[in-house]
Chains A and B, each alone.
Chain A
Amino acid sequence: MKSNKFNAKVVNKMQLKLPSLSVNEGMARAAVAAFVSQLDPTATELADIKCAVSEAVTNCIVHGYRDSVGYVRMTVKLCEGRIVRIEIADKGCGIADVKQARQPLFTTDAAGERSGMGFTVMESFTDGVRVSSKLGKGTTVTMIKVLADLDLT
């Protein structure tokens, strides 16, 4: 039943395609936050989502398109049961070892002062992260955030 979080029925959907310029990181998280706001998330939930999105988009820019500029595609789906599903995809270099990349503090770019905490932040601030990657083809990160029920009292 757990995997249902990843294929719950979609109610509303938003797509965004941005070139992998670091200036777009702020745009990406602001856009997701604005779209998710229609579900009245708590301030903490919204902060979690923004942070997780920022990590995933930064990964595309810093690692996926290391020596080039390509497109970062973002799809946000609002599903039944107050489930937010966010897919962030690039067509960059891909990850050789996803398991290793997800380890806390692992980074391939220590000189650039990357903390190696990107995936750890995504995992901690959301309710599920899936990574599919193919060398030379790109990486797609899918994140699920289940929002708490609205308190209507």
Chain B
Amino acid sequence: MGRATFTYEETGYFLRVKLKGDIDHHSAVAIRSGMDSLLYKIRPRRLYLDLSGVDFMDSSGLGLIMGRYALMKEIGGDVVVCDPCPGVDRVIKLAGLDKLVRIERSKTDAAGQDKPRSRRVRKEVLK
């Protein structure tokens, strides 16, 4: 339980948003408005949604991801979902959201996964 929060990191064209906590209808409302003002301000080419810190998500989270996908399309970018836990992954797959947005999984476990993968991804995108 408890409020869901997010932190973000901006690198060039990329915006990486790391969500933490439970994503339900209650928390999605706050995350959505906070994230949207950020997206309009930064206008990134790609939004990474890091879900490694989220251990519960219901269909409100699906709405949140789909909404951000639509917004990113509008400003000419895309969305990548990173490291959903098994429970969150099942909800995503149930809705077929994995066909709409790319899901990235780091090879290592949750701890310290960030750097090697993001570097690799960046290179892949920039070439």
Q: Is B63 within 8 A of A30, CB to CB?
A: no
Contact indicator A61/B58 (Cβ below 8 Å): no
A55 at the interface (CB under 8 A from B): yes
* Stretch of A85-93, A111-119, A132-140 on the interface side: A111-119
For the residues of B in contact with A, the DSSP-based class is helix
With A22-B25, A22-B26, A26-B22 known as contacts, the answer to whether A118 contacts B59 (CB < 8 A) is yes
Contact with A along B46-76 (1 / 0, CB 8 A): 0000000000101110111011000000000
B56 to A50, Cβ gap below 8 A? yes
B94 at interface (Cβ–Cβ under 8 A)?
A: yes
State how many residues of chain A have any CB contact under 8 Å with chain B.
Answer: 27
B39 at the interface (CB under 8 A from A): no
Contact partner of B95 among A50, A55, A61, A115, CB < 8 A? A115
- Flag whether A23 is at the interface (Cβ < 8 A): yes
Instruction: Tell me which residues across on chain A come within 8 A of B91, comparing CB atoms.
Output: 51, 121
Q: Does B104 contact A (CB under 8 A)?
A: no
Partner of B58, one of A23, A44, A113, A121: A121
B12 is an interface residue with CB less than 8 A from chain A: no
| B25 closest partner in A (C-beta) | A58
B1, A26: Cβ atoms closer than 8 Å: yes
Query: Given contacts A54-B24, A117-B94, A124-B94, are A22 and B62 in contact (CB under 8 A)?
Result: no
Given A26-B1, A26-B2, A51-B56, A117:B62 Cβ within 8 A? yes
Interface set of A (CB-CB < 8 Å, partner B): 22-23, 25-27, 29-30, 44, 47, 50-51, 54-55, 58, 61-62, 104, 112-118, 120-121, 124
